[in-house]
Amino acid sequence: MNKQCYTMSQKRGLFRAPNWDVTHSVANALITACEKLAITNRIKLVKSSWSKKFKSLDNQYLTMLVNGFKQILHQQKSFETVRDAVRSKLHSAYPARFPKGHVGISVVALAVELFRTARTVASSQLLCTQCQYEEPEISDQLGYVLYANRNLTGSTSRWVQNLYQLQQQKCPECLAEMDQPIFYNKPPCVLVLEYAQTHIRTSHRLKIKLDEDDVELHLRGIVYHGRFHFTSQFISRKGDIWYHDGRETGKTCIYNGSLTSTQESELKKCRNRDLVLALYA
């Protein structure tokens, strides 16, 4: 596999991607987005290596992918070999959730396992809506994969800025209602948002506010589903959109315009397939 497999060509309007296999369209769609994020940044010698960021999540499957991406980059393994090794390990751990053969799997379930971390990364706190009463911060189960309530509206940016736990407690001092916001303990390096079949707009970037530091995550990938098949789009650091459908485009990703000139409706539906999840990093 030569080096041009991981570089973009405006002249040709495409760059290389992995072979498609009907039993692996879910894995191809999500893992391709992760691969392009890691490898294109590595080629450009970005100081903050995505390989290190992904490994910092301390997830065995993501670590396997990162090590595999390096081997792909050095022409030691193919994408298919790396992908299949991860899927085989997932099948061994969760045979019902990740079956082998011509059986569909959930792209959201795959995202959860890829970005799961054993560490506590978020906290929440009960706050009175009227007086100054507050309770100590407690650990929260929030991770790096978020699911939207089907009744949620607005944008992905607004959604991430207003995470909270539903609760019905009253303030012990003034008996007013209480809120329980959720917040990350440290700036996350990646978030995967699942908001299929909602009216949520896809923000081009997320701004996550913390006590001392704010972090911006940019839209880097979208996975689509329709007619029992998954496709994806990768957004480069320059805002170029690259479309991949392993069944139709084979080893190529096709230039599909600029993010700044793409309408919301074109992000939510791509070539008759609907948005399932978006990856921000």
Give this prediction's pTM.
Answer: 0.84
Query: What is the crossing angle of helices 60-73 and 79-93, to 10°?
Result: 170
Which has more confidence, 14 or 170?
170
- pLDDT tens, position by position, 116-154: 998 999 999 999 999 999 999 999 999 999 999 888 899
pLDDT digits (tens, 9 = 90+) for 66-79: 888 778 777 888 87
Q: Which of 2, 1, 24, 11 is nearest to 244 (CA)?
A: 24
The number of domains in the chain is 1
**Residue 108 to residue 116: CA distance in whole angstroms:** 12
Q: Give CA–CA dist 232/244, Å, rounded.
A: 5
Q: Worst-scoring range by mean pLDDT, 135-149, 193-207, 248-262?
A: 248-262
Higher-confidence residue of 38 and 249: namely 249
Per the prediction, the chain carries an average pLDDT of 81
> What CATH number is associated with residue 24?
3.90.70.10
Radius of gyration of the chain (CA): 20
**Residue with the two structure tokens 């880097």:** 220
The parent domain of residue 180 ranges over 3-280
Residues with Cβ within 8 Å of residue 261, at least 6 apart in sequence: none
